[in-house]
Amino acid sequence: MVREYLKEIGYKDNEIEEILEAYSLTSFQEETLLKNIKKNYEYFIVIGYTAEEIIKMTKRQPSIYGYSIENMTKKITDMMKLGYSQEEVIKMTKVLPSIYSYSIESMNQKIKDMMTLGYSQEEVIKMTKRLPSIYGYSI
């Protein structure tokens, strides 16, 4: 069931295996995992991701399929409270999908650190990949 759905939405066989073998997803029953994948995939489409972007993002961070919609919505809302638009947050998560797993406190501190170093909010968006390792430590 899950394999067929993932293939249907555009994943290749080797990518399907990698997703299904992701440690964070192995504890799900197949029916529950299928339901989560469908819900999360549809959620991402509705908020502005393309199918290709979802595939790329979840290949890098398959655990996203285990997150609740409420959790992901809260991450977006929290980032918007830091002054970013929804479109900017989506752009950032395309580059760094693990943002969905970070606490808002960690993200806020990383963004403040980059701004203290002289980067503008727009530059932080462009440099999203550097957020986890600024100063050599990770979120």
Residue-wise pLDDT for 6-48, tens only, equals: 999 999 999 999 999 998 899 999 999 999 999 999 999 999 9
Tell me what the mean pLDDT of segment 38-62 comes to. Answer: 96
- What pTM value is reported for the model? 0.84
Query: pLDDT tens, 73-115?
Result: 999 998 898 888 999 999 999 988 988 988 888 888 888 888 8
CA distances from 12 to 6, 39, 59, 80 (A): 8, 20, 11, 34
Confidence of residue 51 (pLDDT cuts 50, 70, 90): very high
Tell me what the mean pLDDT of segment 53-58 comes to. Answer: 96
Phi and psi of 126, rounded to 5°?
-65, -25
C-beta of residue 28 within 8 angstroms of C-beta of residue 64: no
C-beta of residue 40 within 8 angstroms of C-beta of residue 73: no
